[in-house]
Amino acid sequence: MNGVKIPKNFNLTEGEVPYWYGRPSWKYLWAEAFLGILIVLLTFVLLLVISLVINAGGLYLIALLILIPIFIPLLLASLLVILAIILSPILLFIVVLEFLTTEYLITNKRIYIKKGIISRTIQEARLEWVRAVAVNQSILERIINCGKVIISTSSELVGTIALERISNPMKVKNLIEELLAKREHHSTM
């Protein structure tokens, strides 16, 4: 064995060698948490400024008339912030659970994806089925060097599968392409 972790209940076939094991990157969790906290803080600051303007002595009526068009959306925004504060721990638990229960494995014979703990999805694509490999990254994903590797197969049942939210997606894409080239080279001999 070459030191690559094997998912629980995954059995290697004869001659099968694991090349890469992965999970979704924790960078996503930190990036999403940072953006969520930033949105909540900006909304609090905006609400604080509006409350200071509205409570400023004789400016009450003028401020109210000026701010009515933005006050109602801000009231809704403040309700959303309160809702976000209440739901944040639940959503955080769900996101962490998704990260902990998703596993990817690439061997010299197949690509394996396992997701879920209560309801489970397992996808496998044999390397001989793979027709194309692509990487999809947003601007933020390029900054944190994460993304999605999309694998198109010839199998009607499997179709297209994706290794989502992984670190170094270009490295993983290159590995799959190398394994495909090795397979092609061995099949022509």
Please tell me the distance from the alpha carbon of residue 169 to that of residue 113, in angstroms, as a whole number.
15
146 forms bridges with which residues in the sheet? 167
Let me know the angle formed at the C-alpha of 129 by 123 and 133, rounded to the nearest 5 degrees: 80
Tens of pLDDT, residue by residue over 9-53, are 899 999 999 999 999 998 877 776 777 677 767 766 766 666 665
Tens of pLDDT, residue by residue over 45-82, are 766 666 665 555 545 545 555 555 555 666 666 676 67
- Indicate the range of 11-20, 31-40, 162-171, 173-182 predicted with least confidence: 31-40
Own/partner pairs, 174-178, CB within 8 angstroms, 24+ separation: 175/19, 175/20, 175/106, 176/106, 176/111, 176/127, 176/130, 176/133, 176/149, 176/151, 177/133
Predicted local distance difference test score (pLDDT) of residue 58? 47
Q: What's the one-letter identity of residue 25?
A: S
Confidence of residue 111 (pLDDT cuts 50, 70, 90): very high
At residue 125, does pLDDT exceed 70? yes
Q: With pLDDT > 90 as the criterion, what percentage of the chain qualifies? A: 47
**Which H or E run contains 105?**
strand 103-107
Please tell me the distance from the alpha carbon of residue 31 to that of residue 147, in angstroms, as a whole number.
13
Predicted local distance difference test score (pLDDT) of residue 78? 66
Tell which residue, 141, 131, 140, has the closest CA to residue 170. Answer: 141
Q: With pLDDT > 70 as the criterion, what percentage of the chain qualifies? A: 74
**Would the pTM of this model clear 0.85, i.e. be above it?**
no
Asked if residue 24 lies in contact with residue 166, where contact means CB atoms within 8 angstroms, the answer is yes
12-to-7, 186, 187 alpha-carbon distances in Å = 10, 20, 21
